[in-house]
Amino acid sequence: MGKNREFYDKRDHSKAIAKYYDLLDRYNGTNAKSIKNQLTRLIRKDPYFLDSYLLLYEVLRDEEAFEEAEKVLDEAYKKALEMITDKNGKWPNVLEWGWLENRHIIRTILNKAISLWESNQIDDALNLFRNLLRTNPNDNIGARYYILAITMKISLSEFEKRFDRGGFYDNELPQWFEKNYKKFPDEFGWWEKAIKYE
């Protein structure tokens, strides 16, 4: 039986974090060029602080520079995998949201999974969502909702149309999950036991 490997990011990103939050606060859609330039410099200074890539990805998508945005997300995703996987490419057993240090990594993988789902690369998206749920069964990011939607053959656009309330999800989403997830015991049976679901 293999060793239970937990990951948390031990790198010191404190300087990048301070600058990132400053840029996040200042970004308003009209200052995209300046923000992009500063984010590019920030990425060069700390290439393993992934929230910088995610903000750049968002700015580029706002500009409808979708191809360039995907390249930025791919670079962040490669860095995320480089950080968390072992020499054989295996994920850790535990990648908890509870460690603040891990959140930029988890957000990156989540964004990549959503992007794959959006581009109809369903198997790859589902694999990432499953890995996120398996390594963090408390599921602070809601991977289980995406897994259920994909399993029920719901597209990302349909999912967003039904549940998105302007950047957040309300109580309708967990109620929908409660109503439907038990129809798929092969997908969620292990998770239900892991969290002692009642």
For 126, the domain range is 1-139
3-state secondary structure at position 94: strand
∠ CA 57-132-51, nearest 5°, is 25
pTM above 0.75, yes or no: yes
Which residues contact residue 21 at a Cβ distance below 8 angstroms, ignoring those fewer than 6 apart?
Answer: none
12: tokens are 């010191």
pLDDT beyond 90 at 166: no
Same domain membership, residue 181 and residue 161:
yes
Residue 141 confidence (pLDDT): 95
Same domain membership, residue 124 and residue 173:
no
Q: Which of 97, 123, 139 is the last residue of a domain?
A: 139
Task: Read off the pLDDT of each residue in 84-109 and give the average, rounded to a whole number.
Answer: 96
3-state secondary structure at position 6: strand
Q: Is the dihedral of CA 82, 86, 92, 98 positive or negative?
A: negative
Indicate the pLDDT class of residue 196, thresholds 50, 70 and 90.
low
In whole numbers, what is the pLDDT of the chain averaged over residues? 94
Indicate the pLDDT class of residue 198, thresholds 50, 70 and 90.
very low
Of residues 86, 143, 63, 147, the one with CA closest to residue 109: 143
Same domain membership, residue 28 and residue 8:
yes
Same domain membership, residue 101 and residue 65:
yes
Residue 1 confidence (pLDDT): 41
- Residues 97 and 106: beta-carbon distance below 8 Å: yes
Q: Which CATH number fits the domain that encloses residue 23?
A: 1.25.40.10
- Residues 160 and 117: beta-carbon distance below 8 Å: no
**pLDDT tens column, 14-47:** 999 999 999 999 999 889 999 999 999 999 999 9
Indicate the pLDDT class of residue 3, thresholds 50, 70 and 90.
low
Task: Read off the pLDDT of each residue in 103-121 and give the average, rounded to a whole number.
Answer: 98
Same domain membership, residue 149 and residue 75:
no
Indicate the pLDDT class of residue 145, thresholds 50, 70 and 90.
very high
- Residues 146 and 117: beta-carbon distance below 8 Å: yes
Of residues 157, 158, 150, 152, the one with CA closest to residue 132: 150
Task: Read off the pLDDT of each residue in 100-124 and give the average, rounded to a whole number.
Answer: 97
Indicate the pLDDT class of residue 148, thresholds 50, 70 and 90.
very high
Q: Structurally, how many domains does the chain consist of?
A: 2
Same domain membership, residue 146 and residue 133:
no
Same domain membership, residue 19 and residue 113:
yes
